[in-house]
Chains A and B, each alone.
Chain A
Amino acid sequence: MTIVTGKTEARRRLHPGMSGMLRKIWEHRADYAYVLPAIAIMLIVIAYPIYYTIELSFFSTPPGLQLRDKTFIGFDNYTAILTSAVFWKVTWNTLIWTVGSTLISFVLGFAAALALHRDFIGRGVLRAILIIPWVISAVAASYIWKWIYHSDFGIIGAVLVGLGLADRPPNFIDSVSTVLPSLIVVNIWREFPFAMIMMMAGLQTVPDQLLRAAKVDGANAWQRFWHVTFPHLSNVSTVTILLLAVANFNSFIIPWIMTGGGPSNASHIWITHIYELAFGRQRWGVASAYSVLLFLILMTLGYFYVRALSGNERKERGA
C-alpha cells in the first residue's frame, strides 16, 4: 500500500466517523474489485455445495434425485456408516493407498531429484522423460497399465513366465491380495515426477557454501546430505508430502477405471465408494454423510497445509 499512501490519508479524513475495521475495509474497497470475480465463482461452486452436502447428510433421500421428498433422520446416516463393515474395509484400503503412494512417490522423487541435481550429458532429456507420466491423463495411464497387467496377454505376466518365475501369468488386478499394491504402482508412476520437480527446485536453494564448509570440516557425502541438505529442505518436503497425501486421498480415476473398486471391495477407497453410493446406488444421504466425514479429515490435513505454507511466508519475510 505504499504506493497510494497520499490517497488513503485523504480517505481517512473524508470518513472520520467510521470505526477501525469498517473504515479499513472502506479504504481498501477498490482492492476487493481485483479478487471479486475469483471469490464470486468460488462461492457459487464451492460454498453452496459444501452447505448443501452438510444439509443432505441428515436426510434420507429417495433414489432419482427428486430431493424434495427427503426426510430428516438426524444422525442415522452417520451411525449407519460407522457400524458397517464396508466402511472399515474401505478406510483401511484408503489408508494403505494414501500412505503407500505418498511415501514411495516422495522417496523415489526425492532420490531422482538428488541424482539429477548435478549436470551430466542428457540430463534435460532424462528429466523431461521422467515427468511425462505426470502430464498425461490418468485415464490414459489407467488403460496403459490395465493392458500391462492383463491376466492373459499382459506383458509383465509374459516376462515372469518367460523367466521361469511363474507357471502362468499372475492375476494382478483380479485378485484380492494383489490388486491394491498393483494400483499403487500405477499411482506412483504418475506421481513421483511431481515430488521430483518440487525437490529439484528445493535443492537449488541449498547454499553451496554450506556444503563446501561441511566438506572442509570433513563431512562425508551422507553426512552432508543428512545434516545440511535435508534440514534445508524440510519446508519443501512438508508441502510436497501434504500435497501428495491430499491428492492421493482424493484419487478416483485409477481405481475407478482399472477395477471399479473390485474384486469384492479390495480396491475401493473412500472416493470411489462415495461415488458408487451416490451415483451407483443413489443413496444421496449416506454419500453426503461420507463426504462430511471426509471433509472433517481433510480440514485437519488442511490445517497443517496452511501452517506449512504460512511458515514459508514468514521465513521469506524474515529473510
Chain B
Amino acid sequence: MSTIAETAPRGQTRRRMRVDGWRWAGRIFLVFMLLYTALPMIWMLITSIKSGFAAMQFPPQWWPDEPTLASYQKLLDPQNSVGQDFLRFFWNSLYVSTVTTILSVIVAVPAAYAFSRFTFPGRNFLFFAVLLRNMFPAVIFLVPLFILMRALGLVNTHGSLILTYLTFGLPLAIWLLKGFYDNIPVQLEQAARIDGATRFQAFILIVMPLSTPGIIATAIYSFIGAWNEYIYAYTFLSKNEQLTLPVGIQRFFSENTTDFPGLMAASFMMSVPVVVLFLVLQRYFVRALTEGAVKH
C-alpha cells in the first residue's frame, strides 16, 4: 500500500497532462447533458408564470413580459373549483402513497431478512419469483385485476390502488433490503443470541437499527413509485373526488387543452414533493438502488 501512496501524486500529474483531451470531451458532454436535462424543466417553470395569452405567442416570449403567479394561485385556491379539485387530488395522492409506503416496509422487511439469512427449501425459487414480477407490465394484470377488484368491491376505492401498488413495489423493496441485510455481519446476531436474546429480539434490537438506511431508501422508492403511478389509477378510479394527481391532471387538462401555463404549474407542483424527498435523501436512494446489482 505504501508504494502506491508514494507513487500516486506523480501518477496524478502525468495523467492530467495525457488525459486532457478525454477530460475536455467529458466536460463538454456534461454541459450537453445538463442542457438536455435542465432546459425542459426551466421552460416548464417559465411557462408556468406566463398568462394564457403570453404563452400562446410566436415567436415565444423567452421571459414573460408580465410574470404572474396566477396559475399557482388558481390551483391552490380552495374557493375556486379548479383549486378544490387540485388540492383534493394532491391529498389523495399523498394518502395513497403514504399508506402504500408504510405497508410495503412492514411486509418487505421480514421477507428480505428471511431471503438474506435463512436457507429454507424453495428460497431461491421464491426470491426469483418475486423478482420476476418486475418483468411484467401493468397491462397484463389490468383486466383480471379490474375484475378481481370488482369482486372484492374495491373498484373506485383507494384500497384497490394501495393493494396493487404494494405488489408493484414489493419485489424492488425486497431486493433492495436483502442487499442491506447481506452486508450486516451475522456474527452480530449470534453474539446477541449467545447473550440470551431470542431470534426476534436480535432482529428488532440489532438488525433493524443497522438497516435503517435501507428501510429509508425502500420507503422513498415505494413513495415515489406510488406517487407517480398512472395506469392503475386511470383504470380503477372513475369518480372525480378520488383521482390521484397524475390522472386528475390528465382528466382536467384534456378538457382545458389550451391552458398551458396551468398545466405546467400543475406539473411543477406534482413534481415538487418527490424531487424534494429525493434531494434530501438522495444518498440512501442511490446507494440502495445499486446495492443489489453491484456488490461492495
Contacts and interface: CB of A to CB of B under 8 A. Distances in A.
B271 A28 contact: no
A135 B47 contact: no
Interface residues of A, number: 110
B240 interface: no
Contact of B267 (A42, A144, A209, A240): A144
B263 A284 contact: no
Given A128-B279, A135-B275, A257-B250, A236 B199 contact: no
Interface string B134-146: 1111111111111
A200 B170 CA distance: 25
B82 interface: no
Given A42-B130, A294-B140, A306-B132, A153 B58 contact: yes
A138 B228 contact: yes
B110 A35 contact: yes
Given A37-B107, A197-B290, A312-B293, A155 B43 contact: yes
B170 A38 contact: yes
A250 B56 contact: no
Interface string B249-274: 11001000000100110011011001
A282 to B, nearest CB: 10
B57 A153 contact: yes
Chain A contact residues, majority secondary structure: helix
B219 interface: no
Nearest to B270: A140
A107 to B, nearest CB: 11
A316 B137 CA distance: 30
A205 B57 CA distance: 51
Contact of B296 (A108, A139, A150, A205): A205
A198 B37 contact: no
Contacts of B58: 152-153, 158, 169
Given A21-B121, A42-B170, A257-B250, A147 B290 contact: no
A250 B133 CA distance: 12
B176 interface: no
Contacts of A129: 34, 37-38
A255 to B, nearest CB: 12
Contact of A137 (B4, B120, B128, B228): B228
Contacts of B144: 48-50, 52-53, 56
A252 B141 contact: no
Given A3-B190, A34-B114, A189-B40, 7 more contacts: A45-B141, A135-B274, A138-B230, A155-B60, A198-B290, A246-B135, A295-B140
23 contacts: A1-B118, A1-B119, A4-B199, A37-B106, A53-B144, A136-B271, A137-B271, A140-B268, A143-B253, A144-B41, A148-B40, A189-B36, A200-B290, A202-B290, A221-B18, A236-B294, A252-B137, A252-B230, A253-B231, A275-B142, A291-B143, A305-B135, A319-B295
